[in-house]
Structure 1
């Protein structure tokens, strides 16, 4: 999949053109979402054809950050609609890919299994051992953008986000819920929030 021209096209663009202060929304995040989407698709018994659309959506889902932070999902879909017809994708497939991408917009509201998978993949780190490391990248990015002022505000935001978040697929729930709750408990204990 990663060797396909349409995959290489976006990966090269992301590597070359993403702003250096996107510490979280980087090529590493894109590849993490891709790998996790692939894993979840297999566990959730997604067909080969649907997996292909899902994985393309994973590669393109944050490409809007090439242009702007706000409503980047819409911009990502614009990039998909401008790019994928040149690789012979049908309009119906492009619509599906854009639907998957739009499902990642917060608050997440997926309407299909493919949309549920990308939502879970996009926030998979919330229930993983690298939660604090990856969260620190997001903190640095939001701080650089002037969205978060300090670690106290960041910790409060993380607590609120973790309290309101839930995984959609049975696989993500079984693999990530316990660790996610542990991270929430740690934040509450450390900060007395």
Structure 2
């Protein structure tokens, strides 16, 4: 009988190698050999005669050969392949019939074992549920379903399917399986349920965290206050940059005007005395414009010092460099620590910073408005004066 077992093993290996698609990463030769090994475990610890043992070993090797033909109903195809092969090997008819019945019994969802041999093959076929490699085998089966478009189970869905199958659909029949594999199966089930519980707890924590975050975001006054100060300070800084840019434009334009006047008109005034007054008016207004532009951007630095009493009385604004630039680092760090301890003092400093930034902006924009007004007025007056004196000369 060992010869027919060896021949069957070689036949199954070659059949899977030639005809089984590569997407079968669970139902393949490795799985068949695992079932064959589990069959031998039961046989060694049970009272089974040689003939029945041969039937079981042949069924274990041949039970999934039908996957080379189709997935659904593969048990029937496996029985046909087993019949054809064993007949070609001149195996006894009753052994072939026994192998076919055992193969058909592996369809555990719709059948119930009718005898001891069918119970053994059923236990061996599902022995991975009671083995240490269950997690690995289970993941291979999930990936096989995905690759063959049978069902795209997520890890969570697959875990729930396994728990359902463990509890409601599967059972071991033989004494050996109940003694050796059932305890491991229960451990595997406990691990699955533990994973599910951890997943639920993690999801619950994430939901709670999201709710608290949303609640904090919507209800926390500090967030609104911080947003206000951030936006206001950013707007003030942008406006200050715009003012400096406008002043720089005035400086550049009038510097060019004065350069052109000095290089072109001054040399001609000796012979054209009537141009002296219009030129003087033009240069005067340009000079006034430049002076005002400089005044608008001229920095105003304060004394840069504070006392301990100033910090304790909350009268110094530590957010503005002009109030601390002459202080030592350790004194400034102490003052900042004191300010951060007091929420009201911190917000009060930011408020003062905003206020004085606004005062600086007010001064800049008032001077800039005057600068542009004088520049426009000077340009108009200069043009009119040039026109008048040209007319008078003519």
Q: TM-score, normalised by structure 2?
A: 0.47
Matched, 1:126 2:129: yes
Contact 2:123 2:173 in 1 (8 A): yes
Q: After TM superposition, give the deviation of residue 26 of structure 1 in Å.
A: 1.0
* Between structures 1 and 2, the one with greater helix share: 2
Cα deviation, 1:127-161, whole Å, max 9, x if unaligned, reads 11111011111111111122332112211111111
Q: After TM superposition, give the deviation of residue 181 of structure 1 in Å.
A: 1.3
Q: Distance in 2 between matches of 1:9 and 1:29?
A: 15
Match of 2:58 in 1: 56
Match of 1:190 in 2: 195
Structure 1 residue ranges (4+ consecutive) displaced by more than 4 angstroms after TM superposition: none
Match of 2:183 in 1: 178
Contact 2:12 2:29 in 1 (8 A): no
Matched, 1:151 2:155: yes
Q: Distance in 1 between matches of 2:49 and 2:13?
A: 24
Q: Distance in 2 between matches of 1:53 and 1:7?
A: 13
Q: Distance in 1 between matches of 2:134 and 2:22?
A: 21
Q: Distance in 1 between matches of 2:57 and 2:128?
A: 18
Q: After TM superposition, give the deviation of residue 90 of structure 1 in Å.
A: 2.7
Unpaired runs of at least 5, structure 2: 201-394
Contact 2:51 2:95 in 1 (8 A): no
Matched, 1:117 2:117: no
Q: After TM superposition, give the deviation of residue 170 of structure 1 in Å.
A: 0.4
Q: Distance in 1 between matches of 2:16 and 2:155?
A: 29
Q: Distance in 1 between matches of 2:68 and 2:32?
A: 13
Contact 1:62 1:72 in 2 (8 A): yes
Paired residues in the alignment total 193
Contact 2:79 2:103 in 1 (8 A): yes
Contact 1:148 1:154 in 2 (8 A): no
Match of 1:41 in 2: 43
Cα deviation, 1:62-117, whole Å, max 9, x if unaligned, reads 00001111010000011112221111123222111110111110225211211111
Q: After TM superposition, give the deviation of residue 48 of structure 1 in Å.
A: 1.2
Larger radius of gyration: 2
Unpaired runs of at least 5, structure 1: none
Q: Distance in 2 between matches of 1:52 and 1:110?
A: 18
Match of 1:166 in 2: 171
Q: Distance in 1 between matches of 2:22 and 2:81?
A: 20
Matched, 1:136 2:139: yes
Q: After TM superposition, give the deviation of residue 15 of structure 1 in Å.
A: 2.9
Q: After TM superposition, give the deviation of residue 177 of structure 1 in Å.
A: 1.2
Output the aligned Cα RMSD.
Answer: 1.6
| Structure ranking higher on relative contact order (CA contacts 8 Å, 6+ apart) | 1
CA separation of 1:4 and 1:182: change in aligned 2, threshold 3 A: closer
Q: Distance in 2 between matches of 1:179 and 1:6?
A: 31
